[in-house]
Structure 1
Amino acid sequence: MSELLTTPPEQLAEQLRKIAVFSDLPQEDLLWFVSRCQELRIAPGDIMMCEGDKPEFMIIMLEGEIRARAERGPADGPVFTMNSGEVSGMLPFSRLKIVSVTGRAVVPSHYLAFHVSHFEEMFHRLPELVRRLVGLLADRVRNVTRQEQQHEKLAALGKLSAGLAHELNNPSAAARRSAAALRDCLARLRSAARSTTIGPEDCATLAQAEEEIRLSLKPAQFKDEFARVDREEAIQTWLESHNVAEPWKLAPYLAEANLTDPNLARFAAVAGASVGPELTRFATLLEMDRIAEELENSSARISDLIKAIKEYSYMDQGPVQEVDIERGIETTLTIMYHKLKRGITVTRHFAPDLPKVMASGSELNQVWTNLIDNAADAMNGNGNLTIRTARENDFVLVEIADNGSGIPADVQSRIFDPFFTTKGVGKGTGLGLDVVNRIIKNVGGQISVKSVPGETRFQVRIPIQPVK
């Protein structure tokens, strides 16, 4: 708990002189300021301020360190630090109404608390100090905004990374399964090669029969699992009647390959006593064809994602380049596929021969990411996302529309303000659209929104040539 102490005012004044905003003030002004302060010391772990409280004091840290964060919010929220020699808390002209963080001492800390009820007197007596404190307030706003924006970028990167990890995991897991299945296939082929007794004179006839059977095969289509089991049992019975060893192992492979009874009969007529190992070899080769196709699809998916990541970040390119807007949107959709694939239908209305724009491609991709992510959230993962592009005089228009819940009319004018969000607690920082707005303004563009329940349209206009 805090303990109110008494230190000689002259000594406290000397300590204040070590802080920049107080360093050259007259001694009598410093003594007046100290006389209006409470002097407090707190131990490590003690609370200086609680979120939800009304801010009533300006804090001057003489010694120690305080760390503050929103303990009722997300665990990964930003942490603010106050060290010795810093002035914080309620500063003159601050609009702070509620303390949004809880501050705890990290080490034994010693500070002065100046109550807001003395501000008016300070305005008249110490105008130079007030001017400096206002400068501190402006610096604090910039620093907090920068930290929140960095946190927003990291949170967005975290979401993208998680989604990409999930999308990469599926094809990579399929590739691992295929590799394991190939090992099993190779083991079966070696076993079949050791077991067959077919002679060289019958190889050509068997090869011709295999090729004809392979070309006639169609993918197996069982109406349900019972139909599959029935077919496997029928093949197993056929294998048993031809004295094939371990028919229960071979039957599932032949059923999956969709060999018919006439196919089996023809095979047996050529292979004779080696029908078991030869059928094993044939079914295994067919399975290896299927596995090779799966590996090709998996590796292509991984390659496409890696290409999309490179294009999304404009890796190895300068800060400003010719940007293909539609390609950037497609790349963003690929990156965000994890969030759209379950219930969102994407409709594209892309203009033919859309001109490229001179801008930062990676920053424009941040714009599309934020707008598409917000649209997906507004539709709760289920709805229609429409993206339209067009040329309007010297601008490229990009319109991103959704059929979600819409933005209430009374807050539409505030959605681009920093820290304003319509999302629930812990679901948004209110910086996504602020980032979008700043990026668009930096390239000399415009952004607007029209929204009613069931239809929200964000329109982004980007100059084709950079604004000088």
Structure 2
Amino acid sequence: MDTVELKSLFLFESLDESHLEWLNTRGGERTYAAGERIYREGDPAECFVVLLSGTIKMTRRVRGGAEVEINRSDFRGAYAGGVLAVVDEEVKTYPHTLEALTPCRIFSLPVVDLLEALNEWFPMPMHIMKGMSRGIRTANERVAERERLAALGSLTAGLTHELNNPAAATVRASRVLRERLAKVLGELPADLAGTSTLSFLEMGDREEELGDWLDDRGVANPWQAAPVLVAAGADVEWAKNFEQSHAEDFAGAIDRLTTVLEIDQLLQEMTEATTRVIDLIGAAKQYSQMDRGPLQRADVHILLDSTLAILAHKLSGVEVSREYDRGLPSIDAYAAELNQVWTNLIDNAVSAMDGHGKLHIRTFGDDTYLTVEIGDTGPGIPAEIRDRIFEPFFTTKPVGDGTGLGLDICHRIVVDRHGGDIRVTSRPGDTRFQVLLPITPSTCDD
């Protein structure tokens, strides 16, 4: 294309002919058919593009993979592409997808050339824009962290209030119901333990033996009665004694007893399940630190356990071991933010192990620092990228699976907020992150 058309665009109208010629030699015109993608979100941000004619559409991916339109334009001179990469060199990829809605003409310039031109032609404005970009990004990230924690606390407060009362009522009702049913159907025999401590194989053998014995005595549905009786601690010897004391109607007595035991076991299961819900509610409260001041005296072991409880759904295939030094003191800390650190480190460890392996959590300390070590048996972090893992937006996960902010957030919470340190050692099968927190509070800011 010629420099006359470039100068007609508002972006370039103040440039002299030599600058226009420079742009024209480094960039060039490209055409796109309707519906054709110009670039994709997450791809390396290599080009800066300016619309010459046609209509373009910007979209971004949201959670779940759907694309949402965020802008469209037919304005001649509208620009997009690696704009952020020009003023912030840590931004490496396109933040959105750009598509041609109608046939389009585009002026495309490599980002490296645009960066060279701006640094050479307008050095002072570039310094200012880069500084502003870094400041805005840091501020936005910190505000976003606080907003997420506040949102989590509000959500947890509402959910726990709604869940805790009915869960507690269910536990109370199940206990009373067991007492009432015992009066109606009869108390359980005193010589039954109520629960069995047998292994799975031993249970199977005893059920088969007792089922055969009941079948020989003419008991209806012996193979349904036997598992219930064995689960309560019964065996053939117990059944013989029970037969002697209920000789007039042994089959009916076994049937009634089986019903009572089955109801009792179901109520016990319901009580245990509801108690588990109450425990999870308590863990959620502890995790979000709702209704508590941000800076507080905290026991890191309680924080770690609440985080593990919240992440239990991700740990089903992982062997978790804890090696806690319970003699360590509590520390002044932003507890909810430390929970975010544990969450990011544990989540990364589980992801590195592909959901299967061993997660080891250890605490130890000295007179100066309390240390939390989180280790995994994943493939390890390659030596060539180990020095970069705490950089913002750096990630080894596929596009869409990670933002590259998790470890950066951890670093800022531990180092900037708590005056501590975070370290990593890694080799195949043994990666360890160590979070060092000062025992004597000194640098926690407001």
Work out the CA distance in 1 between the residues paired with 2:337 and 2:203: 50
SS at 2:192's partner residue? helix
Indicate yes or no: 2:213 matched with 1:237.
no
Q: Assess if the C-alpha contact under 8 Å between 2:88 and 2:134 holds in 1.
A: no
Q: Assess if the C-alpha contact under 8 Å between 1:398 and 1:460 holds in 2.
A: yes
For normalisation by structure 1, the TM-score amounts to: 0.66
Amino acid at match of 2:342: W
Which residue in the other structure is 1:47 paired with? 37
Note the alpha carbon deviations across 1:222-244, whole angstroms, 9 max, x for none: 53646523421221211x2xxx5
Which residue in the other structure is 1:276 paired with? 251
Work out the CA distance in 2 between the residues paired with 1:115 and 1:246: 81
Work out the CA distance in 1 between the residues paired with 2:61 and 2:305: 37
Indicate yes or no: 2:101 matched with 1:89.
no
Work out the CA distance in 1 between the residues paired with 2:134 and 2:56: 17
What is the CA distance between 1:90 and its match in structure 2? 4.3
Indicate yes or no: 2:102 matched with 1:127.
no
Q: What fraction of aligned residue pairs are identical, expressed as a percent?
A: 28
What is the CA distance between 1:302 and its match in structure 2? 1.3
Q: Assess if the C-alpha contact under 8 Å between 1:403 and 1:455 holds in 2.
A: yes
Work out the CA distance in 1 between the residues paired with 2:30 and 2:142: 30
**Cα distance 1:217–1:374, how it changes in 2: closer, same or farther (>3 A)?**
closer
SS at 2:329's partner residue? coil
Note the alpha carbon deviations across 1:227-283, whole angstroms, 9 max, x for none: 523421221211x2xxx5666665554455454455445444444543333322223
What is the CA distance between 1:147 and its match in structure 2? 8.3
**Cα distance 1:220–1:460, how it changes in 2: closer, same or farther (>3 A)?**
closer
Alignment equivalent of 1:399, drawn from 363, 373, 383: 373
Work out the CA distance in 1 between the residues paired with 2:328 and 2:388: 35
Amino acid at match of 2:46: P
What is the CA distance between 1:312 and its match in structure 2? 0.4
**Cα distance 1:99–1:315, how it changes in 2: closer, same or farther (>3 A)?**
closer
Indicate yes or no: 2:350 matched with 1:373.
no
Indicate yes or no: 2:102 matched with 1:75.
no
Indicate yes or no: 2:401 matched with 1:411.
no
Amino acid at match of 2:274: S
Return 5+ residue gaps in structure 1 as ranges: 17-21, 162-167, 194-202
Instruction: After TM superposition, list the pairs within 5 Å mapping 1:196-211 onto structure 2.
Output: 211=189
Which residue in the other structure is 1:435 paired with? 409
Work out the CA distance in 2 between the residues paired with 1:328 and 1:283: 44
Q: Assess if the C-alpha contact under 8 Å between 2:425 and 2:432 holds in 1.
A: yes
Which residue in the other structure is 1:339 paired with? 314
Return 5+ residue gaps in structure 2 as ranges: 157-162
Which residue in the other structure is 2:159 paired with? none
Which residue in the other structure is 1:382 paired with? 357
Q: Assess if the C-alpha contact under 8 Å between 2:211 and 2:225 holds in 1.
A: no
Work out the CA distance in 2 between the residues paired with 1:217 and 1:422: 49
Aligned-residue CA RMSD in angstroms? 5.2
Alignment equivalent of 1:320, drawn from 266, 276, 295: 295
Alignment equivalent of 1:362, drawn from 336, 343, 353: 336
Instruction: After TM superposition, list the pairs within 5 Å mapping 1:262-273 onto structure 2.
Output: 263-273=238-248
SS at 1:322's partner residue? strand
What is the CA distance between 1:374 and its match in structure 2? 2.6
Amino acid at match of 1:232: G
Instruction: After TM superposition, list the pairs within 5 Å mapping 1:278-293 onto structure 2.
Output: 278-293=253-268
SS at 2:307's partner residue? helix
Note the alpha carbon deviations across 1:13-57, whole angstroms, 9 max, x for none: 5xx3xxxxx6xx9x6549998896778897763323357688343
What is the CA distance between 1:70 and its match in structure 2? 7.9
Note the alpha carbon deviations across 1:147-169, whole angstroms, 9 max, x for none: 89979x99xx9xxx9xxxxxx9x
Which residue in the other structure is 1:329 paired with? 304
Aligned length: 405
SS at 1:386's partner residue? strand
For normalisation by structure 2, the TM-score amounts to: 0.68
**Cα distance 1:397–1:54, how it changes in 2: closer, same or farther (>3 A)?**
closer
Which residue in the other structure is 2:160 paired with? none
Q: Assess if the C-alpha contact under 8 Å between 1:351 and 1:391 holds in 2.
A: no
**Cα distance 1:245–1:110, how it changes in 2: closer, same or farther (>3 A)?**
closer
What is the CA distance between 1:331 and its match in structure 2? 1.1
Q: Assess if the C-alpha contact under 8 Å between 1:93 and 1:134 holds in 2.
A: no
Instruction: After TM superposition, list the pairs within 5 Å mapping 1:288-307 onto structure 2.
Output: 288-307=263-282
Instruction: After TM superposition, list the pairs within 5 Å mapping 1:149-298 onto structure 2.
Output: 211-214=189-192, 223=202, 225=204, 228-238=207-217, 240=218, 250=225, 253-261=228-236, 263-298=238-273
Q: Assess if the C-alpha contact under 8 Å between 1:148 and 1:431 holds in 2.
A: no
Indicate yes or no: 2:107 matched with 1:113.
yes
Amino acid at match of 2:386: Q
Q: Assess if the C-alpha contact under 8 Å between 2:284 and 2:310 holds in 1.
A: yes
**Cα distance 1:236–1:9, how it changes in 2: closer, same or farther (>3 A)?**
closer
SS at 1:460's partner residue? strand
What is the CA distance between 1:352 and its match in structure 2? 0.7
Amino acid at match of 1:363: E
Work out the CA distance in 2 between the residues paired with 1:216 and 1:97: 64
Q: Assess if the C-alpha contact under 8 Å between 1:312 and 1:365 holds in 2.
A: yes
What is the CA distance between 1:437 and its match in structure 2? 0.7
